[in-house]
Each structure stands twice: as C-alpha cells, then as structure tokens.
Structure 1
Amino acid sequence: MPLSDAQWTRIEPLLPNRTPKRGGRWRDHRQVINAIAFKFQTGTQWVHPPAKYGNWRGVYNRLRMWVIDGTWERVFTVLMAQADADENLNGAVSVDSTIVRAHQHATGARKKGPVGEPDDHAIGRPRGGLSTKIHLAADGRCRPLAFVLTAGQAGDAPAFTDVMASLRVPLRRGRPRTRPDVALADKAYSSRAIREHLRRRGIRAVIPAPADQRRHRLRRGSRGGRPPAFDRETYKQRNTVEWCISRLKQWRGIATRYEKTATIYLAGLYIAGIFLWAGS
C-alpha cells in the first residue's frame, strides 16, 4: 500500500533535500519510499520490483544510505515528537517481544557487517529454526516507540533495559523525554532487577508476579517481604503492544525476515512504524 497524500504531507519535510555527492538529482523520494515499502509489505525479492519503481539497485542504495545517516530513525522519532506535541501520546508504554522466522536467504552475511551490526546479525538457531526476536515498546494507541533486535533464543527480560533506553521523544526545548510514567509488561519481565531499574528512574511498574515467585515469597514468611504493587485495572492496557505487533506483522517482509543484516531489517521496522505514525 503506497503512501497516501496525507502521509506524504507529514513525511516529505523530514527527508533530506541535498543532492547526491556525484551530482544530478535524487530519484523522487516518494517513489523510492513506496518501492521500499512494497518490498517489505510483500516480502518480494529486491531484484523483482514492479517496473514502475525503476531499477532495484537505486532503491536499495537509498535504503542503505538512509540507514547509515540515520534518516529512517530520525523521521520515525520526529513523527513521535509531533504526536507528543499534539498531546496524542500518553505516558504509559507497554513492552513485549515477538519471534519472527528467518528465511534461509537471510543467512550468509559477512561476519564483519556495517557499523552497528551485531556479530550474529540478530539471527539465532533455537528449536524452531533460524529466527530473530523483536523487542519493542508501544504506546496506548498501538504505535511502536522503540525497537531492539536479538537472536531468536534470547530472553525477554535481559533486553528490557535496552528497550527502555531506546525511548527518546524529542521536545522543542531541552533534553528528549526518555521516562514514561508507567511501564506495562507481562510475567516474563517480573524480576527484581527490572523492578529496581524502573524504581530508580521513577517509572511505575505494572507487572504481574508469576505463581512461582508468589509461592517462594510466602514460603519465606516475613523474610519474603511485601508483594510488589500491581494495578490490575491499568494492566488491561498492556494488550496495546500485542496489537502493535499484529499491525507490524501485516507486512510480510516483517513477519518473516528475508534481510541478511539486522540493520536493514531494523530499517524495515522503522519504515513500517513511519507509515503507522504518519497515518495516525
């Protein structure tokens, strides 16, 4: 689905307007973004785009160039900031993860990747086969706020602090806003380290304790301490991150990873997020 006129109106001012180093003119930004989005929406191969999008190398090179200079992440972040300025962004975030299968074509990348590329390219080999895990935070309207990629067998809890550290909403003045009011997560994130991390940052945790932790605390009696506070009513909002994951996975190139490098696959996530934020 190409960019609508309303989406393009919001995105166009945020894109680079300088000319390429070798002279000449950019191929139309809107056409290139639509070509990249078509690739991730359909999961087709890079070498088989529709003729209306032109040569695939120019499309891929633009994608890669804007990965390197941070354009995709910057556009994604500015759209979030605009929503925050319009009071369209509340103070609660939900955190979760999802596993995506990695296609066999996603393997074989060079060991030494581009800057920021993890050594394992965020591809693991758990029991289910090659896979990548997307850790993300979402707002109350099912829109993504931050992404972190790991290999598929990685645990959820160890990536929690990385996800929270990736939350950055620029303000018109002063430092970016990095601290939400409330963080919601399921039982997989119920650990003393995570609760202490949120407490130090002044973020209210809404995380249920699993049954084994409750039993262990009761066995210890008075030494087990008080049970962590849990706001059951607020926790009902946690499914917003699951809805966000569902929206992202409507793009076939996101639901299955075909990209060899984590940086290019992450760019696909940012582009899907840009479409969501620009359309909200």
Structure 2
Amino acid sequence: MSGVRLILKDHQWERMEPHLPGKRSDPGRTGADNRLFPEAVLWLARTGSPWRDLPAFFGNWNSAFVRFSRWSKDGVWDRLFAMMANDPDFEYVMIDSTIVRAHQHAAGKKGGPEARAIGRSRGGLTTKIHAIVDALGNPLRFILTPGQASDYTEAEALIADIPAEHVLADKGYDSGAFRDAIHAQDAVPVIPPRKTSPQVPCDYALYCERNLIERFLQKIKHFRRIATRYDQTPRAFLSILCLVSAFIWTK
C-alpha cells in the first residue's frame, strides 16, 4: 500500500459502487480501479494536499483531477450524496452555518469573489457553509455563500420541501418571516427568541438536540480540504462536501 492509509470500508464501498460511473454494466469504457478513485479524492479531502501531491499509489494525479472535474460537472458527486442520504429521520431537522478560510489559491478564478462564494470579512477571505441535518445529525443539504453573508439569508432555501415535523435553529434565525415559512411547511419552529423580539414559545428541551448539527460541522472540518477551502470553484468545493457527506452517511 506504500504507506497510504485508505478510508473506505468494504460495506461503505458496497453501498456507493452501484451509484458511480464506470461499472461493468455501464455503457462505454469500464473504469479502472473504480474504488481507488473515490479513495484518492477522500485522501485529498482528509489531508488538504494539492492534486500534484497525490501519491503515485492512486495513479496519475492529472488523470484523477480531470476525472474529478468531469464527475463534478456531470453531477456524479451530488447524486451519490443524494442516494446515500435516502433514509433521513424527519422527526426534526437542524440548520446552522460555519465559516471556513478560503486559501489565496481559491481566489484566483475569473468571475469575481461573489460568484465564487468567497467574501472578505474580519478573518480574511472566507466562505460560509450553510447546512441542514436530520434528527440523527446526518447531512441533507448545503448552500455556499461569501463568508460575510448572514445566516438567515439561506434559511428558507435550506428547509424548502423538507417534510420535517420540527425545525431547530439558534437565535440568529429568529424572524417572523422564517417562522411563517416553517409553519407553511406544516412544521413547528424551535427557535429561541432574542431578548429584543416578541417572546414566542420555544421547546427548550428539544432545542438541546441542536448540538447534533454543531457536531456535524466539526466532523466535516476533520477533512482539511473542507476546513480550509482550496478549490477555486463552488462546484468543486461542493463536490468534496458531497463525497465526505456520502462517506458519513455510510459509516
């Protein structure tokens, strides 16, 4: 193995394999080392290394990069995440966000920082990951914005069409309009009111479960390529998020 530590267990690969291109049953060319390629991307996600530093054990780094980009454009990573997240617990869902530092190499693409979901705040160049998880703390959806964006801006998009019974969020999401959006989906908001807001009821016992999304956001930051954004395009960064989330679903 040349000292390379792999991450996928057999049961995880068995779940992922049917949903990835290059199987013998697929039309066209059969993918060589189909399991080794997701392993290569997970290795990069875990270590935060540049593509050029991909160990030779995984094959040619440029071929792996081209394949990753092609799968990103084709939506392969998004579909894999969706298929792994096919049995969520909708008793309640939780939303929150986290800011990650964007490396200077992520800021060099044409189109402007806003188009790349990169902003400049007190911490420098940053991207904000808005996330929603189910009642077991498993991820359901991500949205990227520049780091200085308010948490509230993506709240309604995060919960759209998700059939949860309750929606848990912190005081940053305390808004009459958002509460109305939750009620419109036949769900109950569990959001503590600010001191300056109308004092609406909140199920504080259930609110304690919100720690699950905080734990999830810390979990994905164990992957250094997520804790620091190196990818220039939001699509590439989201692809890494989707693969890591698919991995978490299969653990």
Same fold (TM over 0.5): yes
Does the C-alpha gap of structure 1 residues 78 and 207 become closer, same or farther in structure 2, counting only changes over 3 Å? same
Specify the alignment match of 2:189 in structure 1: 205
SS at match of 1:29: coil
SS at match of 2:119: coil
**Distance in 2 separating the partners of 1:228 and 1:201:** 19
Q: Give the match's secondary structure for 2:209.
A: helix
Match of 2:150 in 1: 155
Pick from 167, 172, 179 the counterpart of residue 163 of structure 2. 179
Identity among equivalent positions (%) equals: 38
Aligned partner letter, 1:182: H
What does residue range 33-112 of structure 1 map to in structure 2 within 5 Å?
33-81=38-86, 83-84=87-88, 89-111=89-111
Change (3 A) 1:126 1:119: closer
Where structure 2 has 5 or more consecutive residues not aligned to the other structure, the ranges are: 1-5
How is 1:231-242 mapped onto 2 (pairs within 5 angstroms)? 231-242=203-214
Find the aligned partners of 1:91 and 1:144 in 2 and give their Cα distance.
Answer: 14
TM-score of the pair, normalised by structure 2: 0.92
Structure 2 residue aligned with 1:228, among 185, 193, 200? 200
Gaps of 5+ in 1: 113-117, 168-177, 218-226
Rg comparison, structure with higher value: 1
Which digits, 9 at most, give the CA deviation of each residue in 1:176-215, with x for residues without a partner?
xx321111000000011100111111111000001121xx
For each residue in 1:30-63, what CA deviation from the matched residue of structure 2 results, as whole angstroms up to 9, or x when unmatched?
A: 1110001111110000111011011112211221
CA distance in 1, matches of 2:60, 2:110: 25
The CA RMSD over aligned residues, in Å, is 2.0
**Deviation per CA, 1:82-141, whole angstroms, max 9, x where unpaired?**
x34xxxx242111000000001111111228xxxxx852000001210000000011222
Are 2:19 and 1:14 aligned? yes
Give the total of aligned pairs.
245
Specify which of 34, 37, 42 is matched with residue 32 of structure 1: 37
Give the drift of 1:24: 4.5
Which residue pairs with 1:175 in the alignment?
none
Secondary structure of the equivalent of 2:21?
A: coil
Amino acid at match of 1:96: D
Q: Which amino acid aligns with 2:250?
A: A
Q: Which runs of 4+ in 1 moved over 6 A?
A: none
Counterpart AA for 1:94: M
Contact 2:21–2:31, Cα closer than 8 Å, also in 1 = no
Q: 1:253 aligns with which of 225, 243, 246?
A: 225
Indicate the residue corresponding to 1:223 in structure 2.
Answer: none
| Partner Cα distance (1:58, 1:159) in 2 | 36
Matched residue, 1:127: 122
